[in-house]
Amino acid sequence: MASSVDSDSDSSSGVRKTVTGKRKRETRDKLEHFLDKLVGSMMKRQEKMHNQLIKVMEKMERERIRREEAWRQQEIERTKQNEEARKQEMSRSHSLIAFIKSVIGDEIEIPDPPQPPQKLLEHCRDERGESSLIHSLVKFAYPSGRRWPQEEVQALIASRSQVEEKTGIHKGAIWDEISAKMKERGYDRSAKKCKEKWENMNKYYRRVTEGGKKQPDHSKTRLYFEKLGNLHKTNSASADQSEEKDE
């Protein structure tokens, strides 16, 4: 009888162990399934966020490219407009230069200036007459940084006078000597520039004096006109004396 009770106890204990082990396995399986499901859900969400981020970046890149293309097109159009405006301005400038040359001749080398405002020209013509208009155009066409200053013109005349007083200078070296004299006075002008300036000044001087035109009234031009006149008179007197000696 006692052995029968012990046998039942052992059997019950074995059943409880079996049930407990089964429950543990089921719990572990459920936990693993839950974790797998959670990880899968997180992976899908992360992949979705990653795809959305890529789409946003691609959209931003397309917008950036579109803006750059629009900006580049605007720059091209602006460059074309500036080039067209520059060509028109140059055309007007050349017309103005041709007009000035036809009126005053080649007294001074004329650079390519910008076109003066139309209202300024009309005001000069209406208020002070044609001569004032020409004077205004000349002042506008000869920017101070690119023309010969009055002091430099006087230095050129003085240098020419000094060189002519010397003897034994070869004719071809006269302008080199004048250029050196100019440098001594603080003006860096090549022999070619000195010669061109001198020839232009004398062309204008002869055009006015020989053509019977009225000499310029403005003081700066009148001053170098007087100096040129004195120099020509001196040269003429020297030539007359030489002829008398020869006779």
pTM here is: 0.36
Q: What percent of the chain has pLDDT over 90?
A: 15
Q: Which long-range contacts (CB under 8 A, 24 or more apart) does 223-226 make?
A: 223/150, 223/154, 224/150, 224/153, 224/154, 224/157
User: How many domains is the chain partitioned into structurally?
Assistant: 1
- Average pLDDT estimate for 41-56: 91
Residue 56: inside a domain: no
Residue 220: inside a domain: yes
Q: Per-residue confidence at 126, pLDDT binned at 50, 70, 90?
A: very low
Residue 78: inside a domain: no
Side-chain-side CA neighbours of 222 within 13 Å: the count stands at 6
**Cβ pair 156, 182 in contact under 8 A:** yes
Q: What is the DSSP string of 111-149?
A: --PPPPPHHHHHHHHHHHHHHHHHHHHHHHHS-TTTS--
240 compared with 66, residue with greater pLDDT: 66
Residue 107: inside a domain: no
Residue 137: inside a domain: no
Q: Per-residue confidence at 58, pLDDT binned at 50, 70, 90?
A: very high
Residue 162: inside a domain: yes
- Average pLDDT estimate for 3-26: 64
Span 75-110, pLDDT tens digits: 999 999 999 998 888 888 888 877 776 666 554 454
Query: Domain range for residue 236?
Result: 148-241
- Mean pLDDT comparison of 99-103, 189-193, 202-206, highest-scoring range: 189-193
What residue type is assigned to position 244 of the chain? E
**Cβ pair 92, 115 in contact under 8 A:** yes
**Cβ pair 203, 107 in contact under 8 A:** yes
